[in-house]
Amino acid sequence: MKIPSIPKIKDKSNYCFYTSQRSRDFFFYCLSNLNKLDIKKILIPSYIGYSESEGSGVMDAIIDSKVEYVIYPINKNLEINIKELKSIIRETDSKKTSLLLIHYFGLIDTNYLKIIEFAKEKDIFIFDDCAHSFYTYYSFKDYFKGDAAFFSVHKLLKNITPKSISLIKKNISSKYTFELEKLLNRCSPNKNYNMPNSIELSNNFDFFPTIKGIENIVEKRIIQANIYKELLDKSGNPFTILIPEKSYNFPLQSFPILFSNNVNRDNIYHRMRDLEIQVVSLYYNLTNKIKITEFPEAHYLSKNILNLPINEDLEQDQIKYICKSLLEAI
Ligand SMILES: Cc1ncc(COP(=O)(O)O)c(C=O)c1O
């Protein structure tokens, strides 16, 4: 297996970095300030979660910033419906629009570059939502082309400071990035959102210096996804793996599988939890703005997905145990 070598940031002066408590803080202030630059709408995917305890990190910031939103569909395989997205973009006044691309669980959509090319031609401001995908961004920095990106590092590492990091790329071909940077530095606070702090990078700082042994973490995560694949990618199993063949070199946040309708996902979830296996279902609830009648495939995903654990503390034998327990539970 080939582990990618991790590129250093080539030119730090092309980025502005921010720290914040949560990704939604940065996202909220970006949206509010883009509003002032006449970008009053955002296109968002149909797979956005909600929970009683946390609300919706994405949707709350959108609603509170008072930008309009249009939802584009995510297919049952977790990929963007590119045909629909393009047709929404064609119908929109793209000069007044931003686009949110969520990189679920550390994955990058297989059509990412095509979408970026299409959106950039139309001058759309692009957010890479890497709340789950810090390690993927870190490993493939030059592949990401959005104007801004945010990372909920607190979801990947306990007790990490800062909890969230975000960036704006100073993109000379975008008229918004320089303006947004200026506005962010002098905007007034909102009581529900902590202000992001802009940070300077020193010469020996490569993106996020506080994560010790990051190359090792990246390598372990890639190896783990490949072990899951080897043990679970068999015809006859009543689930599919939501990872495209070409994406096994990404350091994932978790390993998503999708059950067919004749398996009760919730039963499997509880049986695994009883064995103290930390599976999750991201997202078992979608925000109520995403209606089942309009987005049945996203709701199917929500009801049938299970995310198996990936993290640097897991050993290979434990992954084998997780797979064995899963197959026995079905
Ligand atoms: C895809 C996605 N983006 C953004 C967020 C917001 O993250 P944070 O809790 O750091 O604000 C979340 C989590 O709520 C999320 O799942």
Compute the distance from residue 234 Cα to the ligand 1 centre, in Å.
32
Which residues, judged by CB distance below 6 Å to any ligand atom, belong to the binding site of ligand 1?
A: 22-24, 49, 54, 57-58, 102, 129, 131-132, 152, 164
Torsion sign (Cα): 54, 195, 99, 110? negative
Confidence at residue 157, expressed as pLDDT on a 0 to 100 scale: 84
Compute the distance from residue 59 Cα to the ligand 1 centre, in Å.
9
Nearest CA to ligand 1 atom 2: 131
Compute the distance from residue 68 Cα to the ligand 1 centre, in Å.
19
Compute the distance from residue 81 Cα to the ligand 1 centre, in Å.
22
Give the number of other CB atoms < 10 A from CB of residue 307.
22
Q: How confident is the model at residue 170 (pLDDT cuts 50, 70, 90)?
A: confident
Residues 153-160, mean pLDDT to the nearest whole number: 86
- Give CA–CA dist 71/59, Å, rounded: 11
- Assess contact for 290 and 298: CB atoms under 8 A: yes
Q: What value does the mean pLDDT of the chain take?
A: 92
Output the six-digit token pair for 258.
Answer: 């999708």
Residues 297-322, mean pLDDT to the nearest whole number: 97
Q: How confident is the model at residue 1 (pLDDT cuts 50, 70, 90)?
A: very low
Confidence at residue 8, expressed as pLDDT on a 0 to 100 scale: 61
Confidence at residue 160, expressed as pLDDT on a 0 to 100 scale: 82
Looking at the predicted structure, is the pLDDT value of residue 11 above 80?
A: no
Confidence at residue 37, expressed as pLDDT on a 0 to 100 scale: 94
- Give CA–CA dist 9/60, Å, rounded: 32
Confidence at residue 3, expressed as pLDDT on a 0 to 100 scale: 47
| Cα distances (angstroms) measured from residue 264 to each of 51, 111, 125, 269 | 21, 31, 40, 9
- Assess contact for 297 and 76: CB atoms under 8 A: yes
Amino acid at 290: I
Closest ligand 1 atom to 104 CA: 1
Looking at the predicted structure, is the pLDDT value of residue 99 above 90?
A: yes
For 247-303, write each residue's pLDDT tens digit. Answer: 999 999 999 999 999 999 999 999 999 999 999 999 999 999 999 999 999 999 999
- Give CA–CA dist 312/180, Å, rounded: 36
Note the pTM of the prediction, 2 decimals: 0.95
Domains of the chain: 12-199 (3.40.640.10), 214-329 (3.90.1150.10)
Compute the distance from residue 241 Cα to the ligand 1 centre, in Å.
23
For 174-222, write each residue's pLDDT tens digit. Answer: 779 899 999 999 889 999 999 999 987 655 556 665 678 888 999 999 9
Please state which of the ranges 143-152, 161-170, 237-246 shows the lowest mean pLDDT: 161-170
